[in-house]
Amino acid sequence: MRFQKRSIAAVSVLAAGALVASLSTSASAEISMKSLLSEEMQQQQIFAGSYMTGGATSTIYGNIIAGTYVTTGVNTTVDGSTSSGTDTTLGANSTVSGSVQSAGDSTLGSNSVVAGNVNSGVVTTFIDGATSGSESNDYYSAAAEMERGRNEITDVQQFLLRFAGNVTLPEATINTDTTFTQGIYTITGFMSVAADITITLDAQNTDSEFIFNISKYLSFGENVQVRVVNATENVVVIWNAGGGYVTLGANADIVGNVLAQEYVSIGAQATIVGIGADCGGAMYSATSYITIGAGGIVGTTGENGSCQIPSTDWIKN
């Protein structure tokens, strides 16, 4: 199955939540997460409107911010910093390369390591062998930051949904391997990809954008693969569930950035990575939680923490 759609227009963001569309016939991909989001939001690998939990041995390449609590499983790696509106709990043997900031309590599990500062509005607890670079107990509130973030994500989602696109698809389950070419796809309802299906995004050797606007929810089944072929470093992939949630089944391997109005859940050993101008594979939930299953991976980094653009690990030419 193959769908095709022409290139879309350029977008500029004047300020967080203030979006202006400038339509053109340019073949270049000018809509990206960097053009849509404020610099502050771009710094977040995970934005959870409520809480965030990570399973054992999960890896997050970037920063985490959650409206309420942040909890990681044992042997979790966070290659960034965490901020929580209430409490933070790190599982045993977990590592955080940046800082931990909690409006309430911070609890570091046994032998966990925070390279930077741990700041707790209430109490910091170090369990057997846990360490941090420094410790403080300064007042912190995430309320204003979270409110701005929720509004910004919702504004971006609604902005994208206003682009009708040349291809409108009815709600359905994709149960055969499918190839899409560049453009904006409007799904009037849910989009569900059955287990073991491969979705191929063919950039046709151009700077391409693949934007999927889904009015309800988006579900990737177990072992679903999303692959980008014939890509340049300016390829953009955005999955926008403007009216619902996003789920990735166990062992799913997805390319792109996720915007969800409700929750985001990725199963055990599932992976979401970025590409091109939007390296990172970020996940944003405007109003709800984000959960990562055991062994899940969110984002990617190259040498010295730089983004890989593009990477043959997931781009198959």
| More confident site: 119 or 276 | 119
DSSP letters for the chain: -EE------EEEEEETTEEEEE----SS----HHHHS-HHHHTEEEEESS-EEE-TT-EE-SEEEESS-EEE-TT-EESS-EEESS-EEEPTT-EESS-EEESS-EEEPTT-EEEEEEEESS-EEE-TT-EEEEEE------HHHHHHHHHHHHHHHHHHHT---SEEEEEEEE-S-EEEESEEEEEEEEEEE-TT-EEEEE-TTS--EEEEEESS-EEE-TT-EEEEES--TT-EEEEEETTS-EEE-TT-EEESEEEESS-EEE-TT-EEE-BTTBTT--EEESSS-EEE-TT-EE----GGGPPPSS-TTTB--
- Say yes or no to pLDDT of 281 above 80: yes
Lowest-pLDDT range of 24-33, 35-44, 281-290? 24-33
Q: Which range is least confidently modeled, 15-24, 101-110, 202-211?
A: 15-24
Residue 125 has pLDDT above 90, yes or no: yes
Taking residues 104-113, what's their average pLDDT? 98
- Taking 70 as the threshold, does the pLDDT of residue 223 lie above it? yes
What is the arithmetic mean of pLDDT over 5-19? Answer: 31
pLDDT at residue 200 tops 90:
yes
| Band of pLDDT at residue 85, cut at 50, 70 and 90 | very high
Higher pLDDT, 27 or 297: 297
Report pLDDT digits (tens) over 133-168: 999 999 999 999 999 999 999 999 999 988 756 688
pLDDT score, position 12: 29
pLDDT at 232 over 60: yes
- Band (250; pLDDT cuts 50, 70, 90): very high
Mean pLDDT, residues 10-32 taken together: 37
- Is pTM, for the whole model, over 0.95? no
More confident of the two residues 305 and 120: 120
pLDDT, averaged across the chain: 85
pLDDT band at 317, cuts 50/70/90? very low
Looking at residue 301, its pLDDT comes to 61
pLDDT at position 286 over 60: yes
Q: Regarding predicted confidence, which is higher, 33 or 14? A: 33
